[in-house]
């Protein structure tokens, strides 16, 4: 009988080895992330006192019970026995007890020349416990390697669906203040930004198409392939400049921030591929 | 309570709104002597709308004006005003609300819409008292129509209101709802009164005409460019990303 228990820092090497068996890049990054952010919300699956899997969640700050699934890997020797599904269901139940509302997971559709689509089983697994694909970021990780984001409602539909919510538009003064390559990607960039309390007398409230072009040029100079930006769905002023700067609409993560406030994803292709 | 602007960008130059404001200013300048006593009175009688005059009832009463302006007053009265405050107030409202309504249908159609609203306002005022011998003047009926249309098109848009020295941003539905409520109250309390004053029923009639006419006169293709049209907000206010060309 395999059971989940909280992960400790002392489990780090074992966990990294399990991830390594499937994805070396992920293992390296996971080690760094665990070391930097700790292992809160992370769990290991133990079978006969031996760690055979890892799973975990991280809460999205500022949202109403939204979580991301963190690295979820199972020792290849134990795959296909229903253990992954059990591990996943145990974690989802944990979040339901914490009154979590929604959980998302990102999956690559990397097609390895030798091993084929290494994450296909993971996708099947997520779908089997109720995850639904919400959007696909084309060429997110690399040229030809897309990012699929799956979402799952943790609360049952009946209790959540009933009440209609009124979402107010917001017009924050967003200013971009940098750009950086997205961690697990090759050549995909995003912008960092700050929200100012007030706009200056002659400033525009929203960022402008010129602001976006500055960022686009900066990414181009770095040799970036694509830019991905995400915004909440209740900001009416962002759409015109995004479109004017050549951004395309990727899709949305439904009810990401709270019920009725989605996360909209946009992308700009720089053609440096 | 005075609207000083709105968060509603205009997309095309509101030519018809400018022309209508120009016509009102010209009439005030050339036909009404900019409000100077005798010229003003004569112009109000000549170009104003006198309900009793339309139905030959002027003889029976003791009219303010000589009979004879007749049916043409239906059209001319909407370009006449009674005082500086009257014309400035009306033109200001038209300036604030007219551009976005014109944006929803184009200039030629807007000119027709404006005149129809003025006629609707006149009809309501006549119906409220067919025997009235008091001349009615003013663009407010037609502008009431513009406000009725604005309410239907952009209820969620924030209008900036100046109250004393403070500005508030309130949704158009609140500001225009309040405005029409005041007109209705004024209209009912004036039903049995006689004498001059504000033509409340013209405002109500114009407002209703505008709110109804906009349903058939708006151009949805133009309207979709306005971020905040309609009652419900969407994740994609301008419908930009609905276009397959804008999708990944």
Domains parsed from chain A with CATH numbers: 3-156 (3.40.630.30), 173-269 (3.40.630.30)
pLDDT at B5: 83
Q: Of A217-221, A235-239, B106-110, give the lowest mean pLDDT range.
A: A235-239
Higher pLDDT, A112 or A228: A228
Give me the DSSP letters along A28-77.
HHHHHHHHHH--TTEEEEEETTEEEEEEEEEEPTTSSSEEEE---EE-GG
Q: Do B238 and A239 touch (CB under 8 A)?
A: yes
> How many Cβ atoms sit within 10 Å of the Cβ of residue B35?
16
d(CA B214, nearest CA chain A) in Å: 24
Q: What is the pTM for the complete model shown?
A: 0.60
pLDDT at B175: 84
**Spatial contact of B52 and B131, defined as CB atoms under 8 Å apart:** yes
Helix (H) / strand (E) element for A221: namely helix A209-221
- Cα angle value B171/B173/B177 (rounded, 5°): 130
- Contact list in A for residue B240 (CB cut-off 8 A) is 239-240, 242-243, 249
Q: Rounded CA gap, A176 and A192, in Å?
A: 6
Q: Of A180-189, A225-234, B212-221, give the lowest mean pLDDT range.
A: B212-221
**Spatial contact of A11 and A53, defined as CB atoms under 8 Å apart:** no
Q: Do B227 and A236 touch (CB under 8 A)?
A: yes
The CATH number of the structural domain formed by B2-235 is 1.20.1540.10
The DSSP output letter for B29 is I
Q: Do B241 and A267 touch (CB under 8 A)?
A: no
pLDDT at A273: 47
d(CA B152, nearest CA chain A) in Å: 19
Rounded alpha-carbon distances, angstroms, from residue B110 to A116, B27, B216, B223: 63, 20, 12, 13
Higher pLDDT, B178 or A200: B178
- Cα angle value B75/B81/B84 (rounded, 5°): 155
Rounded alpha-carbon distances, angstroms, from residue B49 to A14, A189, B63, B113, B122: 92, 67, 13, 20, 8
Closest residue by Cα to residue B219 from B153, B175, B174 = B153
Higher pLDDT, A28 or B60: A28
Mean pLDDT value of segment A85-93: 95
d(CA A262, nearest CA chain B) in Å: 8
Q: For residue A49, with 0-12 CB atoms within 10 Å meaning exposed, 13-18 middle and 19 or more buried, which class applies?
A: exposed
Q: What is the ipTM of this complex?
A: 0.76
pLDDT at A180: 94
Rounded alpha-carbon distances, angstroms, from residue A111 to A115, A120, A144, B121, B160: 8, 9, 9, 70, 56
Strand boundaries in chain B, DSSP class E: 2-6, 158-163, 166-171
Q: Please say if the pLDDT value at position A29 is more than 90.
A: no
State how far Cα A18 lies from the chain centre: 21
């Amino acid at each position: 009988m395999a059971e989940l228990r909280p992960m400790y820092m002392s489990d780090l090497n074992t966990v990294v080895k399990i991830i390594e068996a499937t994805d070396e890049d992920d293992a390296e990054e996971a080690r760094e992330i665990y070391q930097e952010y700790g292992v809160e919300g992370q769990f290991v699956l133990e079978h006969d006192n031996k760690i055979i899997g890892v799973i975990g969640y991280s809460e999205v700050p500022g949202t109403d019970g939204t979580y991301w699934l963190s690295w979820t890997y199972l020792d290849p020797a134990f795959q296909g026995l229903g253990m992954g599904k059990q591990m996943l269901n145990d974690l989802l139940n944990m979040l339901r007890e914490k009154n979590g509302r929604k959980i998302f997971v990102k999956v690559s559709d990397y097609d390895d020349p030798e091993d084929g689509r290494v994450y296909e089983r993971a996708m099947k697994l997520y779908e089997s416990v109720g995850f639904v694909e919400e959007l696909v970021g084309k060429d997110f990780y690399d040229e030809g390697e897309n990012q699929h984001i799956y979402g799952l409602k943790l609360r049952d539909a009946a209790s959540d669906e009933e009440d209609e919510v009124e979402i107010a538009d917001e017009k924050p003064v967003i200013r971009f203040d940098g750009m950086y390559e997205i961690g697990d990607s090759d050549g995909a960039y995003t912008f960092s930004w700050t929200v100012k309390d007030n706009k200056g007398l002659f400033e525009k409230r929203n960022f402008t198409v010129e602001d976006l072009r500055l960022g686009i040029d900066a990414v181009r100079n770095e040799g970036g392939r694509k830019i991905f930006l995400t915004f909440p769905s209740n900001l009416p002023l962002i759409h015109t400049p995004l479109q004017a700067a050549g951004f395309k609409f990727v899709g949305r993560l439904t009810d990401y921030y709270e019920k009725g406030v989605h996360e909209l994803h946009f992308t700009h292709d720089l053609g440096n591929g | 309570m005075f609207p000083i602007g709105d968060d509603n960008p205009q997309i095309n130059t509101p030519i018809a709104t400018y022309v209508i404001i120009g016509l009102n200013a010209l009439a005030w300048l050339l036909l009404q002597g900019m409000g100077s006593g005798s010229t003003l009175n004569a112009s109000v009688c000549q170009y104003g709308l006198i309900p009793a005059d339309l139905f030959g009832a002027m003889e029976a009463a003791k009219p303010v004006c000589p009979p004879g302006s007749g049916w043409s007053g239906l059209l001319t009265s909407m370009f006449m005003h009674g005082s500086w405050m009257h014309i400035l107030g009306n033109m200001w409202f038209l300036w604030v609300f007219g551009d976005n309504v014109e944006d929803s249908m184009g200039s030629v159609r807007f000119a027709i819409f404006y005149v129809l609203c003025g006629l609707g306002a006149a009809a309501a005022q006549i119906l409220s008292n067919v025997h009235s011998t008091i001349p009615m003047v003013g663009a407010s009926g037609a502008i009431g129509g513009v406000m009725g249309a604005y309410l239907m098109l952009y209820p969620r848009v924030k209008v900036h209101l100046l109250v004393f020295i403070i500005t508030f941003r309130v949704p158009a539905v609140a500001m225009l709802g309040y405005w029409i409520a005041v007109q209705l109250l004024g209209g009912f309390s004036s039903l049995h009164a006689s004498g001059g004053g504000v033509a409340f029923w013209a405002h109500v009639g114009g407002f209703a005409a505008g709110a109804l006419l906009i349903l058939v006169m708006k151009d949805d293709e133009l309207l979709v460019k306005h971020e905040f049209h309609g009652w419900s907000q969407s994740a994609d206010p301008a419908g930009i990303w609905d276009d397959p060309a804008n999708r990944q």
